[in-house]
Amino acid sequence: MPDTSHLIDAIRDLLLDCGLFDQLPPAEVLTAAGYFSLNRIAEGSTIFREGDAGTFMCILASGAVSIRKTNVNGEELEVANLRRGRAFGEMAVLDGERRSASCVAISDSQLLTLGKDTLDKMLQEHPRTAAQMIRAIAVGMSKRLRMADGQLVNQL
């Protein structure tokens, strides 16, 4: 049987490196790490498409991804280019809605993924850790929304 403790330690380190969970105590981050998976994605691979069911979220451990939205003319436009440490896909996992954008790997990448079902399991088994993680994710999303609001106002 493979030793999973090294993998969980590596995932914990990646979670700490991303900055999203800085406010969580180290023991809580270690607990959360046991619920994440580490996946390799090849350059050019579609991670998810706009309109897909939101069954997982990702944190970019290495590489880069492009976030794309389809405009009214049916053209797919890049709205963001994400690098190491950024979370994405979390809106659909938290609200249960369909994906609001597509995501494509623009380089070979490593992703930490957390499934909606796994998050629900964490809520049952470790509610404090799950609640702290959800709060950290919500704060990260709130910061991005405030930045987007500021950019939108500057364009008007």
Tell me the pLDDT tens digit for each residue of 73-110.
999 999 999 999 889 998 888 888 899 999 999 999 99
Residue 15: its H or E element: helix 4-18
pTM, to two decimals: 0.86
**Distances in whole angstroms, Cα of residue 17 to Cα of each of 81, 109, 114:** 19, 16, 17
The answer to the question of residue 153 being in a domain is: no
Task: Give residue 45's pLDDT band: very low, low, confident or very high (50, 70, 90).
Answer: very high
Domain-embedded: residue 36:
yes
Cα Dmax for the chain: 59
Number of other residues whose CB lies within 10 A of the CB of residue 82: 19
Residue 130 DSSP symbol: H
Q: What is the DSSP letter of 98?
A: B
Please give the structure tokens belonging to residue 16. Answer: 């700490």
| Encoded tokens for 18 | 């991303």
Is residue 93 a part of any domain in this protein?
yes
Neighbouring residues of 24: CB distance < 8 A, sequence distance ≥ 6 = 32, 129, 132, 133, 136
CATH number for the domain that contains residue 40: 2.60.120.10
Which DSSP letter does residue 1 get? -
Domain with 81, as residue range(s), is: 4-146
**Confidence bin at 2 (pLDDT 50/70/90):** low
151 inside domain: no
> Is 156 contained in some domain?
no
Total number of domains in the chain: 1
> Which tokens go with 126?
């470790």
